[in-house]
């Protein structure tokens, strides 16, 4: 399981890119049902899927941290 790429991160990426599950799954080369299971918490994100997500959306550690900070601010998490 990849701790950098999580369900919230997937939802933010989809929203930022105006993507549906099917669009996102095609972009990262996995099935839509897998993305659905991940988003519902029924399946962890595999290392391979996380790599595809990072590569497809050009996410390095710094960008991921910036997104996570924005999520915390927007959801008022402390």
In tens, the pLDDT along 15-70 reads 989 999 999 999 999 999 999 999 998 999 988 889 999 999 999 889 888 888 88
pLDDT, average across residues 3-18: 88
Q: Report in angstroms the alpha-carbon separations of 33 from 24, 39, 44, 72, 77.
A: 11, 10, 13, 28, 30
Closest CA relative to residue 71, chosen from 11, 14, 27? 11
- Higher pLDDT among residues 48 and 75, named by residue: 48
CA distance 24 to 39: 12
pLDDT at residue 8 greater than cutoff 90? no
**Predicted pLDDT at 72:** 85
Q: How far apart are the first and last CA of the chain?
A: 24
**Predicted pLDDT at 5:** 86
44 phi/psi in degrees, rounded to 5: -75, 160
């Amino acid at each position: 399981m990849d701790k950098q790429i999580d369900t919230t991160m997937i939802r933010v990426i989809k929203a930022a890119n105006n993507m549906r599950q099917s669009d996102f799954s095609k972009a990262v080369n996995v099935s839509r049902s897998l993305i659905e299971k991940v988003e519902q918490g029924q399946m962890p994100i595999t290392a391979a899927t996380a790599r595809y997500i990072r590569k497809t959306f050009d996410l390095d550690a710094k960008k991921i941290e910036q997104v996570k900070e924005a999520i915390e601010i927007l959801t008022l998490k402390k």
